[in-house]
Structure 1
Amino acid sequence: MDMRYLTLDKALDAWRKIQPISDDDKARLARRFSVDFNYNSNHIEGNTLTYGQTEILLLFGKVIGEANVRSVQEMVASEVSLKMMEAESRIKESPLTQNFIRGLHRTLLREDYEVHRTLPDGMQIGYTVHAGQYKTRPNSVITRYGDRFEYASPEETPALMTDLVDWYNEAEKEGRLSPIELAALFHYRYIRIHPFEDGNGRIARLLVNYILAKHDIPMIVIRSRKKTEYLEALHSTDLAVGSAPSDGAKASIQSISPFLRYFRNIVAQEVYADVLFVTKRGENRWWYDGECIEFRTPNYGKILNMMQSEPVLTLADIQRKLGLQPTSVKKLVQTLIDKHYVEKGKDEGSWHVFIVPSC
């Protein structure tokens, strides 16, 4: 299908047509989603682990290369939070609760911690970020256009969160909104409240997937390379809804049309990528961070397969097996390294391969 003509309905229909998928394909999708979601959701917020470091950490529990300790701890906690969310989504009859949201936040942040900052005027401030507790101080953001955007105050946050959760449970029962509309509107209303002192974006993306998974729709990844598009959709919606936090926390599905349009498009792209990941096989087709990579020469695929199957593989080994000139082998391997598809291991001739075959 030409992606220019992809719609949400077409993507969801394509997904339904390939059901049921095999247990092996379910496992492959789950592994891919775990790495993609945790890497991107945390990278959006400034986590410094690379995609490859994230994969090795989450799948094998190891840290490769130089890594910031806090970034490692954040990524591990993110994976635990993801599993917690997935388990909760499988309890179809259970309503969404504030206790669950606060527990998810506590799991994500792990513990309280101190923040010290220097304001533009030179003043030093310090405060405590509370894991699992709503904010105790005002929060705001400086938009990409330079203006300050205020979220709900600490005083009004508990009542607004009560309203948000009650609205969601009632709207889910009524069924007038589709699961996609529910997820988009919940995300937007939640972001406008910004109930915690830290971690609000990560929690919002977890809860969006909680809603999708609960309604048997594939979970999605908001890619960090498309962060600007994501923030612009939120900003355009803020302009339409109004700057008052209470307006944002009570926004209607009609008023968030810019974000809903963006969200429907993202869900369509992500769901259809899952379809292609399961159905489109080929030696020259590989996947990396949600993108299908089709190499122009089969030599890339051959090298990647050798790197995956052989514990020790030197450039001389590749040259001998493929019958290529040393300069050609060096260029092919360097391209794979530059694209972050592979990385040299600690031992001579060992490789970490991060790009995933489609078969």
Structure 2
Amino acid sequence: MFQEIEKKKTLLDSKRPLRPEVLNNLKQYFDVELTYNSNAIEGNTLTITETKVILEEGLTIGGGKSLREHLEVINHQEAINYIEDIVNKNLDITERVVKDLHAIILKSIDNKNAGIYRKNNVLISGSKHRPVEYMLVEEKMDELLSWYNASKEQLQPIELAALFHFKYVYIHPFIDGNGRTARLLMNLILLRNGYPMAIIKNEDRSEYMKALEMASVNGQTEAFVSIITRAVDSSLDTYLYMLQ
């Protein structure tokens, strides 16, 4: 699978730099798709059309849609801009980046916990996995960042991004917003390595959650890495379609 993806990536790289109008179109498309799907996976009820209207026209949706759901959309786009800025500045993931990214995700939703590691133990409903005890969160996050820095020259970048996502969710460092933050950090790693961002579709939520559970409970990460790989492959196809 990686072999086929590398061929597509080489083709994409050969067409860089992309024209500004193509980049703008791709940016709009990925902002809406990523924001809608990542929020929907976490239970946000705004449709993709409503998400697009909020992002591109700044309008508020009626019909009983909550302020929180609107803020989740606005914050997610700001978080995408943040990771793109990190990549453009040639910076990498640090504890500060993780906390700043999370603070954007929860801005005006839960300011008390935004960007702050949790201070109590948590349970994940519907999961057999118990995240690490809160007293160990900082230590485990330090270990994750050390693992990342040691592995980034060794592992294939898509595998690296997928495993970082899994290990981050396994720790569950914050009270809320872990899934969105994990997917954005995964995409930061992909962008840093010249890949387009991976969109985990809401319609694939069940398969995605099952693969995360399998990795968390049994340590079997193959299915999860495969899901992320397919998502990257699909994004590469989107880029190449735009360049025809």
Preserved CA contact (<8 Å) 1:184 1:263: yes
Aligned counterpart, 2:168? 190
Aligned counterpart, 1:140? 123
Preserved CA contact (<8 Å) 2:215 2:224: yes
TM-score by length of 1: 0.63
Aligned counterpart, 2:233? 268
| 1:275 maps to amino acid | L
The question of 1:166 aligning with 2:149 is answered no
- 2:54 pairs, out of 54, 57, 67, with 57
Aligned counterpart, 1:157? 137
Q: Deviations over 1:20-79 (max 9, x none)?
A: 321111110001011111111111111121111111111121124423211111111111
Once residues 211 and 177 of structure 2 are traced to their aligned partners in structure 1, the CA distance between those partners, rounded to angstroms, is 20
Q: Deviations over 1:176-196 (max 9, x none)?
A: 112112101111110100000
The question of 1:103 aligning with 2:100 is answered yes
Aligned counterpart, 2:214? 236
Preserved CA contact (<8 Å) 1:12 1:268: no
Q: Deviations over 1:282-331 (max 9, x none)?
A: xxxxxxxxxxxxxxxxxxxxxxxxxxxxxxxxxxxxxxxxxxxxxxxxxx
Structure ranking higher in helix proportion: 2
Where does structure 1 lack aligned partners over 5 or more consecutive residues?
114-127, 242-254, 280-359
Q: Report the count of equivalent residues.
A: 242
The question of 1:214 aligning with 2:211 is answered no
Once residues 208 and 11 of structure 2 are traced to their aligned partners in structure 1, the CA distance between those partners, rounded to angstroms, is 25
| 2:243 maps to amino acid | V
| 2:174 maps to amino acid | F
Structure number with bigger Rg: 1
Calculate percent identity across the aligned residue pairs: 30
Structure with bigger RCO (C-alpha 8 Å, 6+ apart): 2
Q: Deviations over 1:154-191 (max 9, x none)?
A: 0111000011112212322xx11121121011111101
Q: How much does 1:206 deviate?
A: 0.6
Q: Secondary structure at the match of 2:124?
A: strand
Aligned counterpart, 1:36? 33
Q: Deviations over 1:121-180 (max 9, x none)?
A: xxxxxxx9611110111112233xxx53211110111000011112212322xx111211
Once residues 102 and 44 of structure 1 are traced to their aligned partners in structure 2, the CA distance between those partners, rounded to angstroms, is 21
